[in-house]
Each structure stands twice: as structure tokens, then as C-alpha cells.
Amino acid sequence: MSGIVIVDSGSANLRSIFKAAEMVSLKPVISNDPDIIARARAIIFPGVGFFDHAVEALNKNNLADALLAVIAKNKPFLGICLGMQLLLTESEESKNEICSVKGLDAIQGKVKRFPDTLHVPHVGWNQVEPLQNHPLFDSLNRGTYFYFTHSYYVKPEIKDYNLALTDYGFPFTSAVISGNTFGVQFHPEKSGPAGLRLLSNFGKIIADQS
Amino acid sequence: MLAKRIIPCLDVRDGRVVKGTRFVDIRDAGDPVERASFYNSEGADELVFLDITASVEGRRAIVDVVRKTAEVVFIPLTVGGGIDSTDFMDELLQSGADKVSLNTAALKRPALISEGAQRFGNQCIVIAIDACRIKDKPDTEELRWEVYTHGGRTPTGRDAVEWAVEAEKLGAGEILLTSMDADGTQDGYDLDLLAAVTGAVKIPVIASGGAGTLKHMYEALTAGNAHAVLAASILHYGTFRIAEIKDYLSEKGLPVRPVEHQE
């Protein structure tokens, strides 16, 4: 399946997600060209690193508007880890610890740091509990383990954005949904067979849209 | 529940997997990409490549090993051994590694930890600590461990617990803690060392060195309070399969990721 663009925002390990997508018969291209992104059939938006650096990179390359255009057209969109967090309104993660940093605001809510009472970062395999029977989690049992590595989590303003929860001291949002825009906090490209299944499910969602 | 992780460690020299006992006496254990694929299908939660190549030319081989492994293995991959610059970290991460493990270079220049953490995120930076019990001490003194570098050959005079705390402050995301006394003996992890370090830091600690039985792993994850256990010999020579380890831990009440079948 072609027309899928993996967004290169400068920081992410793109090779792993590219290889994982290929493994499930998606034929993605990697690009940081706003025109290519805006015309994509579907977007995979990975990210590791810092929220504020990523926002700077998006603005510098004029990627924010291109991403928002894709989301506005309700094209299938999968944000991964920081790529999911960037969908939110704002984040506490910033060099300047006083003010928060603005995200894409496609999903209203905040990105917050895990409390220091927990082991932070949250690293390892944890269970994901989907809140609805959604095609993204087709054939994935409730409580399937996925690989996480993050210090911040998303807190959408309304519950309708929550697609799945994971327990780490408290239940936090591990997947979000708004139309065909999805975000997952875990790394499907590092989550073994379960992760490949989720990417394959995303492929089916793309096929159903076309 | 956050699962306890089982992490096979592949010591790589000049592009081949080897396993040493007490950091010497190297034995050949196979092709790294093949071994990585095998452990992936066995249900490993992560993989660690430790490059013990001495030569600079030989070190290029690890980049190639990482690249080839990341094409077929979709679980987290950590690479350590001789990493002394953020540019080399970048090269390894771009090749498909998810984390880099720093040891000697970080002790020489601790700022390398914060530089790596700032450029790639804390979650990418693992600090490997090779610790050895300080034995000739008065009976009244509490247990202490000294940090060694250069694959366990060079004593640094640094206290292992203090170094773990400093590494965390500088931005390390995990600690890979090897007991040099226990490594390769299969007599069990150094639980005192584990408990001392896990009690002093908030970041996850991976226990390494000494696994010989399933009970040893259980103890490291409970009494030692480790988040994960690293194992080499007992996996490489087929003493246990990962499914057996996970079944055992699960029966004992610890959360583990079930071994899935590859599609």
C-alpha cells in the first residue's frame, strides 16, 4: 500500500518504524516536505526526544500546517509517542520550566509529567486496555503488552478522546482518537508481534478509507 | 501492570557473539543477527549488544550488526561498548538502536551523559556500571562496591552507588548494573549490590551478572528490586528458554509479557 508518509521531524528513529511498516506490507516514504505530507493518503508521525525541540523543528520546516491539513481532511493519521503528544494543546515539557509549550491542538488537552513518586521514565512493557472495539486494536486482546518509554503522558480535556488506558500508578491515556486521527504512547515498531498487528490494523483503516 | 523484562545480552567482538566468564575466557556463541532473531522469537523483551571489540576498525562492525538486526527484530535494542561521543550515539540510534549504553567514557567525562540525554532524550541513555565488592574493609564498615572500567580491568576508586545517583542526576534513563564478582559464575546475582542501587535511584535498574537458576532471576526482581534481568550464558547455552523463565516468574506472581507467536 503506497501513499503513506512517515514524517521526518528531525529527531525520531525513523528506520525502525519504516522497517516495521514495510514488514506489514505498507510501503511508506519518509519525508519532511510539507507538500508531500499535505497530499499524503495517510501519515505516520513518530517522535522521540523533547517536546519543545520537536515543536521548533515542525515550525522551522513548515510542517505544522501540513500536518493540520491532513488531520482536517480526516486522513488516517497515527502519532507515535512524542508524535502523539504533539497532537495535544500544550506540554509541560520545556527548557523554560515556567511556561508550557504549544502543540498542534488537534486534540485538546495537556501533556503532563509523571509524578516523582513513580519510577520515571516509565520504561518497559505495559498492558493496554482499549475502551472500545476499534479496528486499530482488531485481534489484540484487552491487556496486550506494548513497549513504552516516556516521562510525560497525555491528558485530553474530554474522555471521548481516550481510545485506550494503561495503568502506571494510575490509569493514563495510552491511545487517543479523534475521527481518523490516532495517537499511541507506546512504540508499535518496538512491540513485537502485537505492535506489527497494530500497524497492520492501521493499514486496514487506510485501505477502508480509499 | 508494568512487566518485568528478560533481556538477553549478546557480547559482540568483531561482529561475532562471544561470552566471557569473569570478563575473560571468551567463547564463540554465534552470528549476532541470527541470535537476535532467535531471542526475539523466543519472547525476549529487549536485546542488548555489548561490543567488546578492541580495535577502531572492528568497532565499525557493530553499526552494521545493529542495522541488520533492526531490519528483522522489532523489540528494543540497546548497544554499548566504546561509545564516547554523541555523534557515535547518533549513528547507532539512526542505525536502529533504541538506547545506547555508556560506561568508561561517561566515567571519564560525566557530561557525556547530559549531552546524550539532551540530544536524544533520557530514555535513550543507559549507564552501564561494572561493580566489584570492596573486600578488605573493617567488619564494622557497611558493604561497598567500586566501579571498574575498560571491561572490568581498571578500578576507578569510585563508589558504585554514588556513581548511579550521579548518573541519574545527569540524565541517565536506566542503569545496567553488572556485578563483576558474580558475572559468569551462575551462582546468582549480587542482591546486596542490587538492593543498594535500586534503593538509591528512581530510574529502572537492569540486573546483570550471575544468573544460573530461575530462582536467581526471581530474587533479583524481588529482593534486589530490579526492573529487568540481563542474562547471557544460561540462554546462549540453552540451560533455560525464555518461556520457562517467564512461566516461572508468572507462577511466582510477577507480571511478565507472555511469549507471543510471531505471525
A44 pLDDT above the threshold of 90 = yes
Which of A154, A103, A145, A106 minimizes the C-alpha distance to A124? Answer: A145
Query: What span, in angstroms and rounded, lies between the C-alpha atoms of A143 and A114?
Result: 21
Question: What per-residue confidence (pLDDT) applies to A12?
Answer: 63
Task: Report yes or no: B15 at the A interface, CB cutoff 8 Å.
Answer: no
| Overall domain count for chain A | 1
Task: Report yes or no: B115 at the A interface, CB cutoff 8 Å.
Answer: no
Which of A83, A80, A2 minimizes the C-alpha distance to A41? Answer: A2
Cell numbers 514524517 label which residue?
Answer: A7
Query: What span, in angstroms and rounded, lies between the C-alpha atoms of B53 and A122?
Result: 32
Please state the separation of Cα B144 from the chain's center in Å. Answer: 21
Specify the DSSP element, H or E, that contains A148. Answer: strand A144-150
Confidence of residue A9 (pLDDT cuts 50, 70, 90): confident
Per residue in B81-105, pLDDT tens? 989 999 999 999 989 999 999 999 9
Query: What span, in angstroms and rounded, lies between the C-alpha atoms of B121 and B50?
Result: 21
To the nearest whole angstrom, how far is the Cα of B138 from the nearest Cα of chain A? 35
* Higher-confidence position of A49 and B201: B201
The C-alpha cell that represents B39 in the structure block = 531471542
Confidence of residue B23 (pLDDT cuts 50, 70, 90): very low
Confidence of residue A149 (pLDDT cuts 50, 70, 90): very high
Residues of B in contact with A168 (CB under 8 A): 2
A2-6, B119-123, B156-160, B206-210: range with lowest mean pLDDT: B119-123
Handedness of CA B58, B63, B68, B70 (dihedral sign): positive
Residues of B in contact with A192 (CB under 8 A): 40, 74-75, 260, 262
Q: Which residues contact A192 (CB under 8 A, 6 or more apart)?
A: A147, B40, B74, B75, B260, B262
Helices B111-120 and B160-170: angle between axes, nearest 10 degrees: 40
Interface ipTM > 0.85: yes
Residues of A in contact with B257 (CB under 8 A): 125, 145
Range of the domain at A194: 4-208
* Higher-confidence position of A13 and B186: B186
CB contact under 8 A, B3 and A126: yes
Per residue in A51-103, pLDDT tens? 888 888 888 889 999 999 999 999 999 999 999 999 999 998 876 666 678 89
The CATH number covering residue A193 comes to 3.40.50.880
- Contact between residue A24 and residue A50 where contact means Cβ atoms under 8 Å apart: no
- The pTM assigned to this predicted structure is 0.92
Catalytic residue among B45, B51, B98, B130: B130
Question: Which residue of chain B comes nearest to A192, CA vs CA?
Answer: B74
**Torsion angle in degrees (nearest 10) through CA of B73, B75, B81, B86:** 110
* Higher-confidence position of B17 and A177: A177
Task: Report yes or no: B56 at the A interface, CB cutoff 8 Å.
Answer: no
**Torsion angle in degrees (nearest 10) through CA of A35, A37, A41, A44:** 170
CB contact under 8 A, A151 and B203: no
- Whether the bond between A121 and the residue before it is cis, its omega within 30 degrees of 0, is yes
Residues of A in contact with B261 (CB under 8 A): 193
Is B130 among the residues known to form the active site? yes
B74: nearest CB among A20, A122, A150: A20
Confidence of residue B263 (pLDDT cuts 50, 70, 90): very low
Residues of A in contact with B122 (CB under 8 A): 121, 151
CB contact under 8 A, B123 and A195: no
CB contact under 8 A, A123 and B40: no
Residue from A23, A149, A165, A198 to probe the interface with B (highest B Cβ count within 10 Å): A149
CB contact under 8 A, B173 and A147: no
* Higher-confidence position of A139 and A50: A139
The C-alpha cell that represents B179 in the structure block = 556485578
CB contact under 8 A, B123 and A127: no
B22 pLDDT above the threshold of 70 = no
B3: nearest CB among A49, A124, A151: A124
What is the DSSP pairing of strand A181-184 with strand A77-80? parallel
Is A187 among the residues known to form the active site? yes
The C-alpha cell that represents B181 in the structure block = 564478582
Q: What percentage of chain B has pLDDT greater than the value 70? A: 91
Question: What per-residue confidence (pLDDT) applies to A11?
Answer: 66
B74: nearest CB among A49, A120, A189: A189
Residues of B in contact with A149 (CB under 8 A): 76, 98, 123, 173
Question: What per-residue confidence (pLDDT) applies to B152?
Answer: 81
The C-alpha cell that represents B45 in the structure block = 523483551
- Contact between residue B2 and residue A125 where contact means Cβ atoms under 8 Å apart: yes
What is the DSSP pairing of strand B145-149 with strand B125-133? antiparallel
